[in-house]
Chains A and B, each alone.
Chain A
Amino acid sequence: MEFELQLTKRFSIPNCHTLEVALNHGAYRSFEKLFSMKPEAIVNEVIASKLRGRGGAAFPTGLKWSFVPKDTALPVYLCVNADESEPGTFVDRYILEYDPHLLIEGIVCAAYAIKSHDVYVYIRGEYVRPYMIFKKALDEAYRSGFAGHNIKNSGYDVHIWIHRGAGAYICGEETALLESIEGKKGQPRIKPPFPAVEGLFGCPTIINNVKTISHIPWIIEHGGEAFARIGTSESTGTMLFGISGHVNNPGFWELPFGMRVPEFLEKYAQGVKGGSLKALFPGGTSTAVMTADECADLYLSYESMRAHGTMLGSGGLIVMNEHADMLHALRTITRFYAEESCGQCTPCREGTFWIHRLLEKMVRGEGTTKELDLLLEIADNMEGKTICALAAACAIPVRSCVVKFRQDFEKYVKPVFVPVAAAAEKMLGDDAVPF
């Protein structure tokens, strides 16, 4: 399969995070064409490219950009979401580390397209190394006129500010990210109004993932049509797929959409380690788990994933072999969501923790079959009832794991009914609370 690398083309070049090396290998080449085009033309190119947001929701990028009110008197902001915290997702950091100038180039292109002069790059707090490298690259870009005031004599200014997170998963949700940049507690806002109309500091704001932004220079250079020819009809272009878990060669690869998952596993991840494939989370833990049978005709594309009732998410595949215990896996996953729920909406705040406590109980061997069904019901009561998608992100793996791997759970639970008070007493000893 022949295709041109768009995001990782300079990854193998040593020291490509420095401006000098990056320039020698074609960085910032798109600027010449960029500033000769009108912003609207660029938005149209991106619409033509059918580029979809790589952050997880896969919303068409060009369409999102076109939502910015025309001729608004307010400043327009661009926020770059580098708060990559989804379990199993780890590719944004390599763009920041290996080719930060690609991101800066993309930022300038995107800012120009949406007529924004101020860009915030929200980098996950734990990403210290990527932050240092990106900061250094940004300083270099400023010094050489690739960012900041009057970029390359185009008369266009793009100021880029780095904002570091403080370790909250929820700040990767676009409106929580805005709250966090504004200095508030990272809690999602109610939509509508959508950020494209009323976002950062009440102004129109576009929030894009690092990977999405990094595709823009290529689209400008080669045109949206060329981009749309790569991949499948609905999933155009290439994407960075990361794979982790029980595989022989974990890592990430840039591939056009449309590869069959078993092929990807064999060819790139070099097969499942320690046994045969049991389960696969296609796009981080927030997506519905796939059994080995389902994986057989699963393709790396948005439409194939949707047809199988799951999502490609951020493209972070997690593989589990036949010896993996789904109850323990799910307990770990729900611990993450219980810990990371922002606490704003009741169903998420209480539901994630309730599910986690039930799973903890099952791991101890004190669960009942009734509680297994309760898990499904709690998941139903959480999903779609909250401001943001975190509750759904917890409910989906719970539901899919319990339904598809019920035998794993039934090993732990007793069909008999354990009286509530007795169970509590067992857990707490003398401190037991009367219910």
Chain B
Amino acid sequence: MQKMITVNINNQEYEVQEDCNIVEACDAHNIPLQRFCYHRYLPVDGSCRTCMVEIETPQGMMVTTACTTKVKPGMAIYTNSEKAVAAQKSALEFLLLDHPLDCPICDKAGECLLQDNYFDFGRYDFRRTVARYFKGGKALNAGEHIVLDQERCILCRRCIRFFDEIVRTPELGIISRGHESSISLFPEKFIRNPYSGNSADICPVGALTLKEFRFKQRVWFLKKTKSICTQCARGCSIYIEHNKNTVWRFMPRENPALNRVWMCDRGRFSFNKLHEKRIFTPLKHQEEISFNQLYDDIAELLKTRRSGEIAWVVGPFSSNETYYALKTYCGDNAVCLMPPASGERDDLLMLAEEYPNAQGATFFGLQTETAPLIDKIQKGRIAALIIVEMDLFNLRNDSFAQCLMENIHKIPLKIYLTAYRDETVARVDYVVPVRTYAETNGTFINATSLLQKACQALVPEHPDIDAACIALYTIATGARKHQRRYSDASEMYDKLRSHYDELRSFQFNQIPEYGIALNMPKRADEPFKGIHVDFNVCSTAKPLEES
């Protein structure tokens, strides 16, 4: 626990953390104070000069920047004194002096700090009576994902500090000096690092924008749903930002212990996958059938099999609810395959395991040993195989997938629960369309044993498409729709939590924003290994996107 001290802000006493700066002290108590260059997770720069406050010093009253001034016990701080307000207003006036004001065509409009701060703190009369100075440099190609607009840039240097201090690829810099200063790359060079998308997030204006998002949506139409990234075992907290049932972008969500406010490009630009190669209608031998017929057929076929003859195969891609349904309703022949870790990894966030919930399978005690099942398949003792959300026939170098390909003729019935039309779809008898993780509620456990929830962002194309856990429950129990115990995956969670001490006290909608740290062995190191950036998160501070 941090030591607390008392300071006096605007003639009112506040308890703040020792050795935080004045911006952080104000944030902790929701005292409005504008800032551009200050960012909670970046080293302090102090160059934008907008967070001006007046403080009492032994030498008298002094106007200074809040971000570079540490609080001291008993310090008197004024954010609304005449001099402080004048300094705040004038700094904004300077920033906007030669700004192009092309908000109508700027993608940042709506989430632009310059707009927000001017609205809250600006002086509303425009006083530039000289010709505008054109900084040039519009829509420059700055990298695979990034477009640079030097004209809009206010030179807060957040992006430079992010690349220098967090990613450690000093790709951006400021060339020239004085009013000619502009953010630039080295000649013939581009931003090539796996975290480049973050620079557009932290850019307070529209100087850095994402090619994948430019001119796609106005941000005020976007709805934000709290979710997680499923592209690797880190499971960074994100917002799925969607409008009209389409995902337009993933944005990292603040989670101090996990991903701070960053995410990798691999995860960020995976949002398109949610809409690609989707499957919406049930298939029987590649022919479309109705949902009623599908569930009738499956129930009929499975009724005649003994439970020992039915095998269930799942991958580390499913939610905890799916694992729970497998464990609870589907008997002993459920295995979870662990494909080898093959992705890129680094010391920041990315992990080599490109799947989100291997820890969940462990938590629910799913069998990962495939040898007994392989043996049974080879001996022809498996009469039905149900594959859950895993492109099994696309797996290479996996002994189980190998065995399955060789012995596929020995299994008379193969059912596949999937959201995507992938290679396995063509090789099975029945395809049961299920929802993606963006279309259902669910929980996931990441490699550092943090249980997080992913909330439903989109409505499925067809109302009969179920979440995988509910489809599994239906298949396993043969229950008809009106007989089902669950109508939503979150109800499955609420059922399962009662079995685990660590989860018992959290209903689905009470799962904390930063997740629940579970007491189980971790699969990966803590994020940001070896990156020591001086930042100071006040535990009481409000989330970033609201400030």
Contacts and interface: CB of A to CB of B under 8 A. Distances in A.
Interface of A: 168, 170, 185, 190, 338-347, 349-354, 357-358, 360-361, 368, 371, 374, 381, 384-387, 418, 420, 423-424, 427-428, 433, 435
Nearest to A189: B46
B329 interface: no
A385 B91 contact: yes
Nearest to A191: B68
B97 A168 contact: no
Contacts of A354: 94, 97, 128, 130
Contacts of B174: 185, 343
Interface string B83-94: 000110011011
A338 B97 CA distance: 15
B63 interface: yes
Interface string B10-54: 000000000000000000000000000000000010111110100
Chain A interface, DSSP helix/strand/loop, else mixed = helix
A357 B95 CA distance: 16
Contact of A352 (B44, B49, B178, B181): B178
A371 B129 contact: yes
B98 interface: yes
Contacts of B532: none
18 contacts: A168-B177, A190-B46, A338-B179, A341-B179, A343-B176, A343-B179, A346-B91, A346-B154, A352-B178, A353-B179, A354-B97, A357-B131, A385-B49, A385-B63, A386-B49, A387-B47, A427-B131, A428-B131
Given A346-B50, A423-B129, A381 B86 contact: yes
A358 B97 CA distance: 13
A387 B129 CA distance: 27
Interface residues of B, number: 36
A433 B177 CA distance: 25
Given A349-B179, A384-B63, 18 more contacts: A339-B178, A340-B177, A343-B178, A346-B91, A346-B95, A347-B49, A349-B155, A350-B94, A357-B131, A358-B129, A374-B127, A374-B129, A381-B90, A381-B94, A385-B52, A423-B129, A428-B131, A435-B126
Contacts, number: 101
A341 B47 CA distance: 13
B215 interface: no
Given A190-B68, A349-B155, A343 B49 contact: no
Contacts of A371: 129
Nearest to B175: A185
Interface string B120-162: 0000001111111100000000000000000000110000000
Contacts of A338: 178-179
Nearest to A337: B178
Interface string B176-216: 11111100000000000000000000000000000000000
A185 B52 CA distance: 25
A427 B174 CA distance: 30
Given A338-B179, A387-B46, A350 B129 contact: no
Q: Give the residue among A346, A368, A371 with the most B Cβ atoms within 10 A.
A: A346
